Amino acid sequence: MTALWTSGEIARALSPVAMPAAPFEAVGVTFDSRAVGKGDLFFALAGETSDGHAFVAEALDRGAAAAVVSRDLPEGQGRLVRVPDTMQALVALGRAGRQRSAAKVASVTGSAGKTSTKDALRAMLSAQAPTAASAASFNNHVGVPISLARLSREARYGVFEIGMNHPGEIEPLARLVEAHVGIVTNVEPVHIGHMGSEEAIADEKACLFAGMRDGAVAVLNRDNRHFERLAARARRLGVSRIVGFGRSEAADARLLACSLHDRGSDVVALIHGRRIEYRLGAAGEHWVLNSLAALAAVEALGADFDRAAAALAGVEASPGRGARRRLAFGPGTVELIDESYNANPASMRAMLAVLARTEPASGGRRLLALGDMRELGEKADCYHAGLAEAVAASGAAQVFLCGPHMKALWQRLPAERRGVHRPDSAALAPDVAAALRAGDVIAVKGSLGSKMKIVVDAVLAASGGQTER
């Protein structure tokens, strides 16, 4: 296996206090001792609830080539890289990974759709050449540098997700990534409790364009009301070209038509004046629009456009982000739409639109299990109550809710649609499982802090196992 990092390269990148006497090679980089593989470089990071130094012995026992630490430890002598600060060292290694790479790089942010857009880009580019991308939602001050530290020497493309929930978080990460193309999927009132206004959110998202490489391209949602604000800030930060995507006639990547199905979409679009038709494997109009952003990025990166579009047929939603499972249940099946990973007003409405197009099997109903959307500030109850019309349009026969803010939606629902309202997902889960019957479609969504995966697990436990799609 080709070395990701040699001990000499690590020493030059980190300027350590001390290095192991014997040369070594690392084939991976991690900060999670439970995920250490043979030959990994383990960073002992100090977190809010635990300190990675307590797990150095475990990491080395699992086969780590070396551990990066900031203090002397009795274990692992001869396999420790001593630095003043392990977090700063990880950032330094991520910067070195980016600087040595010849890959064409795209960065992705937005109030919703970051991960799905990143995954679509990875699928399109990896079908053509070695491509590195952020794992899962590695989009914060730890996830971005470790993703860059994992950037292989062979990669021709890189796709990195950048997130935020407080002011000032995006710019330092964007300056690490040094992208050639940056995508902002949308700007919505997500984390508005921390940011104060949508305009402040837009300005923070525009920091994605700081530190980009010469000739950089910004891909922006032409339908979003903050388009001009984003474009102006991108130009001030040195972006050479603005590409708009969406339904607008002014969009460079323009949606002409789409046939939305419960398990995918057929799309007709105009990309820089060229008509293109393609199949998208994931369901929902939000996926369609983000696929336009991804295709615009492919064009800007100089990859093969036709091969990229063809690869979209194989793109599917991931667990917690819209993944669908048909589960054996009694004499028939139950279909689970799992959006348990996160939620905001925009993504909630997108999921409800998908549910509306999903037909239950014979005798079945559409069911909803929703948890609180977090970090919405003093207007949180209004945002939750404001979902009532979209819930009604989804065709949900029964709605199961949890969390203090979902009480506001509960009060707006007609009596015949009310399942139950519980204080949290642990209390809600048994009610949802007990309500299921053969033929039902159940959609589950909420912010990560609402822990709606508990409800997903209850649905899975109530079923007889997964069946064919």
Nearest by Cα to 388 from 424, 364, 414: 414
Q: Which CATH class is domain 101-314?
A: alpha beta
User: Which residues of the chain are in CATH 3.90.190.20 domains?
Assistant: 323-462
pLDDT band at residue 467 under the 50/70/90 scheme: low
∠ CA 223-228-229, nearest 5°, is 120
Confidence of residue 246 (pLDDT cuts 50, 70, 90): very high
Q: What's the confidence (pLDDT) of residue 319?
A: 87
Distances (CA, A) of 412 to 102, 175, 375, 380, 384: 55, 45, 21, 15, 10
pLDDT tens-digit series, residues 125-175: 999 999 999 998 899 999 999 999 999 999 999 999 999 888 899 999 999
Task: Find the mean pLDDT for residues 43-63.
Answer: 92
Report the pLDDT averaged over residues 75-82.
89
- Give the C-alpha distances (Å, rounded to integers) separating 216 from 105, 182, 292, 428, 448: 10, 8, 18, 48, 33
Note the Cα 99 to chain centre separation in Å: 25
The pLDDT-based confidence of 468 (bands split at 50, 70, 90) is low
Percent of the chain at pLDDT exceeding 90: 86
Antiparallel, parallel or unpaired: β 264-271 and 253-261: antiparallel
To which H or E segment does residue 309 belong? helix 305-311
Average pLDDT, the chain: 94
More confident residue, 72 or 144: 144
pLDDT digits (tens, 9 = 90+) for 263-311: 899 999 999 999 999 999 998 899 999 999 999 999 999 999 999 999 9
Within 10 A of 54 (CB to CB), how many other CB atoms are there? 12
432, 400 Cβ separation under 8 angstroms = yes
User: What are the φ and ψ backbone dihedral angles of 140, each rounded to 5 degrees?
Assistant: -110, -160
Q: Tell me the β-bridge partners of 469.
A: none
Share of the chain above pLDDT 70, in %: 99
pLDDT at 47: 83
Can you give the pLDDT at residue 72? Answer: 87
Overall pTM surpassing 0.75 (yes/no): yes
Tokens 């909630």 correspond to what residue?
348
353-385 pLDDT, tens digit per residue, is: 999 999 999 999 999 999 999 989 899 999 999
- Say how many Å lie between the first and final Cα of the chain, rounded: 36
CATH topology of domain 5-84: 3.40.1390
DSSP 373: P
The pLDDT assigned to 193 comes to 77
| Residue 213 burial (CB count, 10 A) | 14
Please, where in the chain does CATH 3.40.1190.10 lie?
Answer: 101-314
pLDDT of residue 194: 78
* Ranges in the chain annotated CATH 3.40.1390.10: 5-84
pLDDT at residue 77 in the model:
83
Among the residues of 36-142, which ranges form H helices?
56-61, 86-100, 114-126
Read off the tokens for 306.
Answer: 């036709």
pLDDT tens for each residue of 421-461:
999 999 999 999 999 999 999 999 999 999 999 999 999 99
Across 233-256, average pLDDT: 97
| 323-462 CATH, one of 3.90.190.20, 3.30.830.10, 1.10.375.10, 3.40.47.10 | 3.90.190.20
Predicted confidence at residue 234, as pLDDT, reads 97
